[in-house]
Amino acid sequence: MTDVARLKTELDGIRIEDNPAIVKQKSRDFFWYSPVLKRELDHVTADLVASPADEGEVVRVLEVCHALGVPVTPRGSGTGNYGQAMPLSGGVVLSLAEMNAIGAISAGRVVAGPGAILAEIDRRTRADSRQEIRLHPSTYNTASIGGFIAGGSAGVGSINWGGLRDLGNVLGLRVVTMEAHPRVLELGGRDLQKVMHAYGTNGIITEVEMPLDVAWDWVDVVVGFDAWMDAVRFGDLIGNQDGLLVKEIAPVAAPVPYDYFLRHRKFLRRDQSVVLLMVAPHALDPFLTLAGREKGAILYRSDSATEAEKKGLPPLFELTWNHTTLRGLRVDPSITYLQSLHPFPDHVDSVRRLSEIFGDEVPGHLEFVRFDGKVACFGLPIVRFTGERRLDEIIVIFEDNGCPIFNPHRYTLEEGGMKQTDAVQLAFKREADPDGLLNPGKMIGWENPDFDLSAGKVYLFPGLQSD
């Protein structure tokens, strides 16, 4: 058990929260998207939350916790949905939200604290020099840049830039190690892989440098199709148009748009599948030319919608990526979801096959992205949840159809998508967190090197707080 009183004494001067209700609230992320994680993790809570104001205070927290053997789980805004920020063994939640300064902005670059909110970074870089971050999750208005790097992988913009871990999409990170005398490391180039998408298991990010792209006044467009596969093919066609600048392409199958996108319902028919897009203003005319040729119905355009029509509408990206699921859960809490990849060049055909197999049990939701230089798509389908056994069957059928699942019903790095332990991240954890105190329970390769990932069994972290 954590000696909370002693911890508080040692951390004197650093902002601490130990009100159990608030600590529990700050120990939660969006794990509850998953009925499986909800069952497993609902009781999890830290002992206290520490909110350092700067890197020096991060070093002090880690030094103290290392000396006392207290686990530390970092947290940005807690918008992850794989339980990334859940403190499985209690201890300290290290909230980096206060470290949200936005530093130097120059051509193609911005420096920021890990707690800086993505939308806030863009407000500053837009005002400074009409630039914006390349990639963002649908939680743009609440997610932190550090949390996105530590716990995210792709998002809006991935149709142009691929994933966050692709070389060039993060320029530099400062990272503090969990040792008797914590070190501050500056990582760049391929070394960035050591801590990206590692859930903070092997270092605490204290500063980021991100590349910037030009900020266009993206136009939200909803295109309707009578047939789901026509929507899918349209998404693929647009993604492969080299001269057409778009930032987001998300086909969503009927009846999901009508049933769950309540504020946009007035533009939709229940039997219509849609493609949600963000189009550069100067790409709009050629885009509409193509949409017309493909018999897509333009259901909504933010540039020509009236003020009355736009009133109360969220930006379109808040209907995409994990927000599609979120809107579904608000209407029907019994649903759940999956995350998969439909690899090139079979991506359109694997979507078709799986749609034929599952029909309305698994309504399609795709996100077109660049992946290793080709246009392919992630699947984030809604699943009409009828139990964990059936969910596992669905996963097997996806994988049998060549579509790997990044299982959002597992809290470990390996089961959540990596499929195997990242050797670089494991090696770096040995250096940077030799006592295994950072975000315990998330890296199977550290906790139990003998665990057989191919045996199909679920890893249960022995250090998980008991109910």
Phi then psi for residue 36, to 5 deg, are -70, -50
Q: CA-based angle 57:61:65, to the nearest 5?
A: 170
CA angle, 417 as apex, 416 and 419 as ends, to 5°? 110
In one-letter notation, the amino acid at residue 318 is E
CB nearer to a second copy: give 125 or 324: 125
Q: What is the DSSP letter of 20?
A: H
DSSP 12: T
Determine the Cα–Cα distance for residues 97 and 112; give it in Å rounded to an integer: 12
State which residue, 167 or 458, has the beta carbon closest to a second copy.
167
Residues whose CB is less than 8 angstroms from the CB of residue 389 and which lie 6 or more positions away in sequence, other chains included: none
Minimum distance from CB of 186 to a second copy (Å)? 12
Other Cβ atoms closer than 10 A to 181: 9
Using the structure block, give the residue that is written with the tokens 């320029």. 171
Cβ of residue 427: shortest distance to a second copy, in angstroms?
17
Q: How far is the CB of 103 from a second copy (least distance, A)?
A: 15
Quote the Cα angle for 79-81-87, to 5°: 80
Q: Which C-beta is closer to a second copy: that of 65 or that of 105?
A: 105
**Apex 295 CA angle, 252 and 228, nearest 5:** 25
CA distances to 138, 139, 313 from 79, in Å: 10, 7, 21
In the complex, the smallest distance separating the C-beta of residue 277 from a second copy, rounded to whole angstroms, is 14
Tokens representing 451 are 């665990």
**Which C-beta is closer to a second copy: that of 312 or that of 345?**
345
Nearest CB to a second copy, comparing residues 130 and 430: 130
For a second copy, give the closer residue by CB, 86 or 279: 279
Q: How far is the CB of 16 from a second copy (least distance, A)?
A: 38
Please count the other Cβ atoms lying within 10 Å of the Cβ belonging to residue 193. Answer: 17
Considering beta carbons, is residue 243 or 312 the nearer one to a second copy? Answer: 243
Nearest approach in angstroms of CB 359 to a second copy is: 30
Amino acid sitting at position 2: T
Q: CA-CA distance, 140 to 143, in Å (whole number)?
A: 6
CB of 134 to a second copy, least distance (A): 8
Record the tokens describing residue 389, joined without a space: 């056994």
74 vs 162, beta carbon nearer a second copy: 162
The least distance separating a second copy from the CB of residue 190, rounded to whole angstroms, comes to: 5
Provide DSSP, 167-193: TTS--EEEEE--SSS--EEEE-GGGGG
Closest distance to a second copy from the beta carbon of 419 (Å): 21
Q: Report the interface residues with a second copy, using CB under 8 A.
A: 107-109, 129-131, 134, 160-163, 166-169, 171, 188-190, 211-214, 216-217, 239-245, 280-283, 285-290, 293, 370-375
- Rounded to whole angstroms, the Cα distance separating 29 from 334 reads 19
Q: Which is nearer to a second copy, 93 or 231 (CB)?
A: 231
